[in-house]
Amino acid sequence: MTRSVSRTSTRELPLALVNLEDGLDSGEKLHLLSSIMEPCRGIRPAIIAVNEARWRMPRGRPEREAAALLSQLCDARYEISVGQIERSDHPPALLWDTQRLDLVEYSTASTDRSLWKRNTWTLAVLDSPNDAVRVIVPHWDYASGTRRLMEAETLASHVGGSLPVVVAGDLNSTASGPHLPHRDYTRVPVHKRRQKGRLTAVGWVDDTRALDTLIGPWDTTTNTRHHQDGAGLYALAEHDWQQRNRQGVLASTTHIEQSLLIDWILATRDVGLVPGTYRVWEGDPAWTDHKLITATITLPPRVR
At 1 the pLDDT is: 37
Identify residue 118 by its one-letter amino acid code.
R
* Each residue's pLDDT tens digit, 252-301: 999 989 999 999 999 999 999 999 999 999 988 888 899 999 999 999 98
* Each residue's pLDDT tens digit, 161-190: 889 999 999 999 999 999 999 999 999 999
Phi and psi angles of residue 298, each rounded to the nearest 5 degrees, phi first: -125, 135
* Each residue's pLDDT tens digit, 40-99: 999 999 999 999 999 987 667 899 999 999 999 999 999 999 998 888 888 999 999 999
Q: How many CA atoms lie within 13 A of 156 on its CB side?
A: 19
For residue 113, pLDDT over 80 is answered with: no
From CA 194, how far away is CA 145, in angstroms rounded?
A: 7
* Average pLDDT rounded to a whole number, residues 218-243: 96
Burial class of residue 150 in the structure, from the number of CB atoms within 10 Å of its CB (0-12 exposed, 13-18 middle, 19+ buried): middle
Selected from 3.40.50.970, 3.30.1280.10, 3.40.1160.10, 3.60.10.10, the CATH number assigned to the domain covering 12-298 reads 3.60.10.10
* Lowest-pLDDT range of 13-17, 127-131, 140-144: 127-131
From CA 260, how far away is CA 236, in angstroms rounded?
A: 16
Across the chain, what does the average pLDDT equal?
A: 92
* Average pLDDT rounded to a whole number, residues 193-211: 96
For residue 2, pLDDT over 60 is answered with: no
Split at pLDDT 50, 70, 90, the class of 116 is low
From CA 185, how far away is CA 236, in angstroms rounded?
A: 27
Split at pLDDT 50, 70, 90, the class of 9 is low
